[in-house]
Structure 1
Amino acid sequence: MTGTKQFPWSDAAWLNPLPRAEPEGDDLLVSTAYASDFWRRTSYGFIRDSGHALLAPLPVGHAVAVTFQADLTTLYDQAGVMVRVDERTWVKAGVEATDGTPHLGAVVTHDTSDWSLAPVPEWAGTSVTVRASRSGDALTIRARASEGPWRMVRLAHMRPDAIAKAGPFCCSPQREGLRVRFTRFVFGPADIGLHETP
């Protein structure tokens, strides 16, 4: 996103503070709590709202982008971007460890969660950027590894009148101590169109 600058980490608020969140230069180093997760009902039957997300307002017509590095080694380790209206309405998108390899995916929740994903083994150990762009009644999610091409991840519904917040998130449903280095957190104008790259 051109014409943007780093959003101050201290200007956003944590949903479910984590055991460690320390600035290191321009970066933010975090470490997750045990069994942290976001999920509502579908297939698993449980509700989890214990994951970590650093959130600031995301009005219609704006986008948020987050860049991170993480060693996702345990099942369901995950990091990326969350866009949240409330505990029943939210989207998380990023990279998650599943079946022994990193997967790019998204969970869209309107009272119940759904999950879409695709393997990206070549993204292991890279710097990943996830971007959520809000326009009208739509939330468009894209991602890329390092300076590679943007990939479309998801087009999801979000009510135009919804008051949403967005920012980096991370979870470790099967353990504690997932370490994530967030290197970028920026807001800017929404994408021009569905098929326009940022």
Structure 2
Amino acid sequence: MGTGRLRYDHESHPPIAVLVGSVAQHMGLMAVTLVFPLLVAQAAGVDAEMQRRYIDLAMLAMGVATLFQCWGRPVLFLSRIGCGYLLPAVFTAAYLPAALYAARAGGLGAVAGMTITAGLAQVLFSRVMHRVRPFLPIEIVGLVVMLIGIILGVVAIKLMVGYSPSMAQVTLTGTGGALAGLAVMVALAAWGSPPLRAMAVL
């Protein structure tokens, strides 16, 4: 973007090399968020086979949602589905605490019900978002982003030290590897070149 405009805009056809690189980058970022459904499945107490199937369905959901987002055209009675851009669907940490609580209380069925309800609420809220936008200052957005970061930090620390709510104890197995990974992320984000900083999350 040397001129301040997008090099590849809507309905453009980038070269294969650019397209493959973008797809690989998006797939890597999407794969990172698969840890959220895995944590939810583990919180529900299901066995390893069910966890595998849950992750399979999670990947399928991400793929279908991404295709819908990229479509950007009318479908049946709907005027339009998606924006037409390559925007990958990912799992968000915003619902992670509620999903973990629902998983522990009612299993994966409760998580499914919560997810459907949240999705419908977002669809309905999107129709009036332009009316309530003046009541949502940028400070509110910053607070939400900060709280999501705190949520992820608490979950990550518990995983690093091996804390289990059911056992109510700390096991340091694997903590060394987790700390090494954290050190690499911090080093890349703080002192790495711009391309390496983008890779810190991976």
Does TM, scored on the shorter chain, surpass 0.5? no
- TM-score tier (shorter): under 0.3
TM-score by length of 1: 0.21
Which of the two has higher C-alpha Rg? 2
Structure with a larger share of its residues in strand: 1
Structure with a larger share of its residues in helix: 2
TM-score by length of 2: 0.20
Which is bigger in relative contact order (C-alpha 8 A, separation at least 6)? 1
